[in-house]
Amino acid sequence: MSSAAYNRLQNIFKTSTTASVSPSSTTTKTLKEKTKRPKKNITTTVIPKPKKEKLAFEPLPMSKLTDSLANLKMFIDTFKRASNSGPFRYSYKYYEEVVSHLARARQYSYIEEILQHQKRYKIDMSNESFVVRLMSLYGKSRMYEHARKLFDEMPEFNCPRTVLSANALLAACVNSKRLNEMPELFRELREELCIKPDEVSYNVVIKAYCEMDATDSALLAIDEMERNGCECSLYTYNTILDGLYGNGKISDADKLWEVMENKNIQPDVRTYNAKLRGLIVDKRINEAIELLDVMRSNGVKPDVYTYNGLINGFVKEDNLAEVKKWYEEMVKNEIVPDSVTYRIIVPFASRKGDYLFGFEVSKEGLLREINVGRSNLQGVLDGLLKLSASDESRELLKLVKASNFIYYKLNLPGDSDVEA
């Protein structure tokens, strides 16, 4: 794991739970303060200083965080000691942040060490909600076997297994991309463990079928869902519409859209975005543009995903002029671009040879503290150097160097006289 990753892990624990006051801050006075006497007949009100917050636990000193696995082990041990605090154990954000960083660094053994450590807290382990959190963390780390093992162990901790933990296991299976195992797992939970699925269960299953391009099975799941008295919500329809439109099954998606509207379920921006992406996949971009007018007339405001879809459509059509137009339209309508926006536009601008446009868009992203991507920025820099655009090259290098969220450097050719 890189030192940058350690730094990001380190920042997680700058959250406090217990107040403490440094004695030196209240006892140290200058000689002048000691001898100064207040004027007569003047009433003074002393406003107490805000108490300093104490860290949930003392982290490793920043100077000791290196690429050494030994120091990472120390970090994990410190985290485990912090788990002795009940409030800390129930602060899900701590666990989620640390586990997500470890997962990105592929440090799965340390994820297992942290979560396995929680089993010593027997009272907590008898609480299904607590166990579900651990299962969810395994799922987000794509460690399905561990989530399954924990689910099987729940009776040993006198912890009930209801639809809550069953849903967590289903989600862990899907998040781990073990999609082929999901149908059998769903059958086992229902038939062998006699756990009755709810709306959440079916939504997870439908999402999995859509990811498997098994939309026929997803439609059958909707029928079963309604037969079992579960409500088919807008979320459910959005999930399957996204799958149908994304896989080019526009006719089937349009039929389901009609069914949804006949049930007085009104589409939202996610519904329209799914259709827009489907139209773009089917190379019907003019209809996608018309869909924006339909959205607005129905009181649905396009969002960043709407514009990203359109911009990406014009990238596929190799139309830089329209990409520029819709990016400007996006900004004019006060839709804030996200990292996807920049990662679509910047490499396309470089590919089309418009490095100055690529620079301007990259600059906007960097000023908004969005990582545009190393290869994308390098492509812009290389193009600017070809154009002998020294000022822009220098500014781009300075922006990257000054950022506190980028942990890499851009490369300069040996004969370049441009410096950051």
Mean pLDDT (the chain, rounded): 85
Per-residue confidence band for 419, with pLDDT thresholds at 50, 70 and 90:
low
Query: Do 337 and 363 contact (CB within 8 A), yes or no?
Result: no
Residue 38 pLDDT exceeds 80: no
Which residue's structure tokens are 């154009």?
Answer: 387
Q: Which of 144-148, 246-250, 278-282, 320-324 bottoms out in mean pLDDT, i.e. has the lowest? A: 246-250
Q: How many domains does the chain have?
A: 1
Q: Is residue 213 part of a domain?
A: no
What are the respective helix, strand and coil percentages of the chain, to the nearest 5?
65, 0, 30
- Residue 162, burial from CB neighbour count under 10 angstroms (0-12, 13-18, 19+): middle
Query: Do 294 and 282 contact (CB within 8 A), yes or no?
Result: no
Q: Is residue 137 part of a domain?
A: yes
The predicted pLDDT at position 290 comes to 96
The predicted pLDDT at position 411 comes to 86
Residue 152 pLDDT exceeds 80: yes
The domain of 129 spans: 1-8+66-188
Query: Do 381 and 363 contact (CB within 8 A), yes or no?
Result: no
The predicted pLDDT at position 59 comes to 42
Residue 88 CA from chain centroid, whole number: 22
- Choice between 248 and 304, residue whose per-residue pLDDT is larger: 304
Tokens of 333: 């309508």
Q: Which of 67-76, 339-348, 380-389 bottoms out in mean pLDDT, i.e. has the lowest? A: 67-76
pTM of the model: 0.75
b/e burial code for range 300-318 (CB count within 10 A of at least 16 → b) = bebbebbbbbbbbbbbeee
Q: What percent of the chain has pLDDT over 90?
A: 68
**Number of Cβ atoms within 10 Å of the Cβ of 87:** 9
- Choice between 159 and 56, residue whose per-residue pLDDT is larger: 159
Q: What are the pLDDT digits (tens) for 216-225?
A: 999 999 999 9
Q: Is residue 91 part of a domain?
A: yes
Q: Is residue 121 part of a domain?
A: yes
Q: Is residue 183 part of a domain?
A: yes
Tokens of 90: 């129930």
Q: What are the C-alpha distances in Å from 412 to residues 333, 409, 419?
A: 37, 9, 9
b/e burial code for range 54-64 (CB count within 10 A of at least 16 → b) = eebbebbeeee
Residue 16 pLDDT exceeds 80: no
**CA gap 13, 203 in Å, rounded:** 34
The DSSP 8-state label assigned to residue 55 in this structure reads: E
The predicted pLDDT at position 32 comes to 37
Nearest to 21 by CA among 67, 52, 60: 52
Per-residue confidence band for 271, with pLDDT thresholds at 50, 70 and 90:
very high
The predicted pLDDT at position 406 comes to 79
**CA gap 107, 317 in Å, rounded:** 41
Residue 187 pLDDT exceeds 80: yes
Q: What are the pLDDT digits (tens) for 65-121?
A: 334 556 788 888 888 998 988 888 888 888 898 898 889 888 999 999 999 999 999
**Number of Cβ atoms within 10 Å of the Cβ of 273:** 26
**CA gap 406, 127 in Å, rounded:** 41
**CA gap 323, 47 in Å, rounded:** 57
Nearest to 362 by CA among 383, 346, 350, 349: 346
Three-class secondary structure of residue 164 per DSSP: helix
**Number of Cβ atoms within 10 Å of the Cβ of 294:** 13
Q: Is residue 71 part of a domain?
A: yes
Three-class secondary structure of residue 16 per DSSP: strand
Query: Do 79 and 114 contact (CB within 8 A), yes or no?
Result: yes
Query: Span 291-318, mean pLDDT?
Result: 96
Nearest to 224 by CA among 203, 251, 195: 203
Q: Which of 77-81, 313-317, 343-347 bottoms out in mean pLDDT, i.e. has the lowest? A: 77-81
Q: What are the C-alpha distances in Å from 12 to residues 7, 95, 111, 222, 317?
A: 9, 10, 16, 41, 43
Three-class secondary structure of residue 380 per DSSP: helix
Q: What are the pLDDT digits (tens) for 387-400?
A: 999 899 999 999 99
Residue 24 pLDDT exceeds 80: no
Residue 128 pLDDT exceeds 90: yes
Q: Is residue 128 part of a domain?
A: yes
Nearest to 255 by CA among 214, 221, 219, 217: 219
β-strands 16-20, 52-55: how paired? antiparallel
Provide φ and ψ at 233, rounded to 5°: -90, 175
Tokens of 108: 């799965």
**CA gap 144, 171 in Å, rounded:** 9
Query: Do 195 and 161 contact (CB within 8 A), yes or no?
Result: yes
Residue 121 CA from chain centroid, whole number: 29
Q: Which of 62-66, 221-225, 299-303, 357-361 bottoms out in mean pLDDT, i.e. has the lowest? A: 62-66
Q: Which of 59-73, 110-124, 300-314 bottoms out in mean pLDDT, i.e. has the lowest? A: 59-73
Q: Is residue 169 part of a domain?
A: yes
